[in-house]
Each structure stands twice: as structure tokens, then as C-alpha cells.
Structure 1
């Protein structure tokens, strides 16, 4: 059996099983399940075309060769569903226009008689119809890279928004999506280089395997840690007044944000707002409230949210996420270094306001440069008689 038939068949089986598993996860994963099934179909058709290199196989191969138009747009829609908790709607069909365009440029090949089709296919392999192939390739690269860029911009906006409004979501948890985007761009760059400057030792089949591999990696990542991603979706600032997810990943329209910034810049209440916030955090320990948002902090302070945000960013020099978690981390550090503290690091994390181990560890490492376990290891030891019970192991 041809080596690539074997590889494609394994990939198709993996995509099929992964798509079915994700479909069972519920509506949140249906988009990703469909993407996995698309990959399974793509690889399955390629394996079939190698086994049966006739007209039917080549026609099907011409269709699946246009699937890369869908991969980038599906990646964008997947990212959008993660950061905005927004499900698919009928108007999202417009994201498939690239595939439709490619299909229209190819439809004459698909409907022509078999003999003519095979002759045309042979002529294309010899360099004929180069204009059509050039147009499809340029459209494919431009369309796909623009969607990847839009997805990356959405993730970066969301990370900034999360730091500005929430204390319980770790923005670094979405960094893996940026790595996925970078890997996708690397695949496209390799394909472009192979198209413009063919490299004999780099078979085109390997590029399709790389595309399938990165999509399957996204699927496995989502299947194994769905709770982590779901916990980050739809922060308060991304939810509209009617309770529905906002249409844009930005926390507010740019014009509105500029107006609030200008108003805050001229507001004479900066000092009193700063004093009130310090009172709430240093004496009333407001940071211990789980899932604290800037809206809740503003309500407790008695001042407008935009003014509280401006004070935290300008007077304290930190985004909301960093500022709140700095208080939590300092208290957690003091407790971990206390030789008489017998609770686990995770219990301490929950006590000071963190809602998950991953967020606690990320904030601790980011702010102190060491893990909670390393911090506890530096704590002085006490005798069991003085401590009452042995010190628990570090989490």
C-alpha cells in the first residue's frame, strides 16, 4: 500500500472519531466537531483518489482541494465561539464565500465529460490553464491568511479585555490559540514557498498532513480541557445589556472608550477614588471575593466603573487582573511561608479569592517568578509538636 494512503487513512479515522466525540460534548463543540469531520472527509477522499486514480476520484479531489478555503474561516469562527460564547447563525454562511468562489472557478472541470476532463487534467499537469490555478492559489492564500489575522486580533483584544475587567480568568490560557495561528501561518508559508520555489524533498502530501495534524491537535486540545476554555468565554464586558453575547470582542465601542478616557483624565476625584479602593482592598480585603469583576469593585466603591478603571490603570499602573491578583498572591505567599500554616496551597488559593488552580499558579508564577510549591519549600520548618500536625505536601 502507498505510504500516503496509509497516513491519510489513519488521519481520516482520527478525524471521524474525534468529530463524533466532540459532537457528544454538546452544542458548544458542534462547530469544532464539524471541522473535524471535514478533515476526515478531506483525507478520506485523498486516500480514495490514490487507490482509484480515475475520473471520479480526481473530480472529488478537485473539490476537497478547495477545503483549505474553509479551514481558516472555521478557525476564526472557532476562536469567536471561545472568546464571545457566540453560536453559529445563518449570516455566518458568508464565511464560506471563499470556498464558493473556488468552486465556481472549478465547476467547469467538474461537469465536463469524463474524456475531456482527463485530457484537461493532463494538460494542467503540463502547465496549461496556469492562469486559473494562479487565481485560485492567490485567492486561497489571501483569504486564509486574512481570517487567521482576524482570529489573532480577536484573541489579543480579548486578552486585554480580560485583564482590564476580570480577576478570575487567566489571559495566558488562550495563548495556545496564538500558537495554533502561528502554526497555521507556517503551513501556508511552506505551501506558498513550495508553489513558487518547488523543493524536491518536500512532497506536497506532507503539507496536507500538516494541515490535518494542526486541526486534529485543536480538536484534541478542546476535547481534553473543555472546562478551561469554557470558563473564559463571555466575560461581563462582552455581554450586552440584553444578556446576549456582544457582537464584537472589544469591551466597548472605540468612540465610547475614548470619551470615558477623556472624562477620566479631567476628573478631579482620582485621589478619593484611589483612597477608597485602597480601603476596600487593604482593610476590607475585597480581593478575596471570588470572580471579582471591575463592575463589582466599582459598585462597592460608589464610583463609576470607567473612573475606577482609569484610577487602577493610571494611578496604580496595572490592569485590573494584575492589580487584584497581586493582593491575592501576596497574601497567599505570606501564608505559604508561615511555618504554622497547615492548609494546602490550593485551599489557600481559594481562601484569598482564586477560583481555579491554573489561574492561581499562573498569577503566582507571573508576579513572583516562582511556583507556589517552590515558595512553600522555602518556608521554615517547625516541630510537629509546635505545629500540631505534619505540614501537608505542596500542591
Structure 2
């Protein structure tokens, strides 16, 4: 029993720590951090209340169960909004998306101790939670009838889970709108873990339907063990643990707001000496034939898969696809192609823009077409266009039409 309580307490502490850290984190996407923080806090509440009813504390259970109930109804919406917000690189809720929190608002109304409402029997509530779990609670705990818990919430969980998977599948079919490789790994990992715990939480339904006896305590223990194993796994995946859970570092090494970046400001581009010296070529011990083969492989995969259409595609992603060290990729692009990586990939984007914009100019703006071609900001596009063609887009197309 002591070991079980220690396991539950450890899991609660970790979930609460991650939740508080994400809530106050200054790095990363503040909007996404808050959504993920609420998801963790709701999971903490579920496990913490299980500890209370195991400890036989009906008074504390009454307080904390009612306190956490609105978070239980907000968590599925937060999970879905986190996934879609991550996919779309959003930093705030759209007005219509506030409607997702109507169930949480109803839960707040439900738990308010209205003067005429009947006081719940918290000893019976604790007994049912201990024996059957939250989804089988058929005691009235507030304003609404019991099916507010055991029908509405499971249905809401399933709907939001399906909607999250649909959002990812739809975006995977549009590679030019997808994200960098680390982001892709994280969101798929997050969605799989979320699916596991949601299905695991609904497992008692299936067991009851199949008339298979079960002990709810075992589900609590397995839930805690699974969380600890996942945490152990993430410790061996730095881009997950530090990049998304702790938000301690900017894993993709993008400039912070306030740093000088051509993705945020239009600045003059200086000509750099992009051809490495012979001493560097000797350092890597790459033969001319190897340089040519690597350069050809890079061009082929870039053109075949249209990787330049990905907004956040970086040299580390190219190196991963070719199974080459990053410094070799950089050296080959500089030495054999004669450009740095950013100019090289922007050249493909400008070429794509020049081919597609004349065909769509009556339906799309220059900026929208630039985004479709893979540019994240207008400033980067205009700088790259001027560098490739010597003119700004309007002047370039006016000149083309005069011929």
C-alpha cells in the first residue's frame, strides 16, 4: 500500500511540476504552453483525487473533485486546440474557438453549490470512484444529472480525439504546409500518447460491456507506471524533453524576437565569400567525386520531394534525410553548389514562385503565393527575390510584360 501511494504521489508531483513550469514558461509559444499546461493539470487532478478517495478523505475529496471537474471538461478541448495550434503555428485562440470551452463553463455551473441543490453523498462518491472509476460515477454531484459525467464526457473525449487525428492526417497530405522534422516527431508522439491514455481511460467501458471483472486500482497503477515510463523515454529524446515539455531551449535554433533576423526585418543583404578555402576541403577529406555525388543527391531529393515548400525546412532536416553529417551537407552546398543553405533553398522557392504566380495571379496575391512557395515572411521573400532577379516582384513582372 505504501509503495502504491508513493507511486501515485510521485506521478502527481511530476505532472504538477510540468504543468506549473509550462504555465509560467517564457520561452516557446505561450499559447501552446498554456494549453499543454491545462492538459497536464487535468491529468494531475484525476490522479490526485484517486489518492484522496484511497486515503478515505471524503471532505477533501468533495473540495478537490469539484475544483478539478471544470478542468476535466476543458482538457479534451485543450488537447485538440494544442494539436491544431501546433500544426498551424498559431499564437492565440480565434474567436469562434472559445466555443470549445462551453462544456467547461457548464461544468463550473454544475459544481457551484446552489442553494437548492442536494448535497452529494461523498462517501458513496468515493466508493464508486474507487471501485469503478470516474466514467461510471452515477451519483449526482452537482446541478446536472449523473449522465453529465458518464455519457457526455466520454463522448466528448472520443470526438476531440478523432478530430485531432483528422487534423494531422489532413495536414500530412499537404506537405508544403507541414512542419520541420522535429516538430513532426513531437506532435505525432504527443498524439499517440494522448490516444493511449484516453483509450486506456475508456477501457473499463469495454471490460464492462464484455462482462470482464476488473479492479480500478490496477488501472490507476498502470496509468502512473505508463506516465513514468514515458517520462523516462523523453529524457532520452532531448528535442522532446527540452524543446516542448520543459521549453528550456529553442531546439530549432531560430532567432529570438529582438535579434536581427531577415525573417522579421527587411535588411540589406551583404555579399559573403561562400566558397570555402582549400584548407577546409582538405579537412573533410572529401574527393571531388564524393562532392559531386552528394550535391547531385541533395538536388534530386530537394526537387523530387519539393522540400523547399516546407516553411521550417532546415539543413539538419536535409542531413537526416540523406543520412549525412550536418557539417558535410553545409560544406558540399558551400563548396560545390557555391551558395549557403539559405540562399540555395530560397533559389528553389523563387523559381517555384516564378512558375506558379503567372498562372494564379488573378486568384492569389504576391504575398500569399510567396507563402505557398515556402517563405515564412514577406521580408525574406522580397530580399530573396531581389537577390535572384535583381528586381522587386512588381517591377520584374512589369518588365516581363513589356517584352
Length-normalised TM-score, structure 2: 0.49
Length-normalised TM-score, structure 1: 0.50
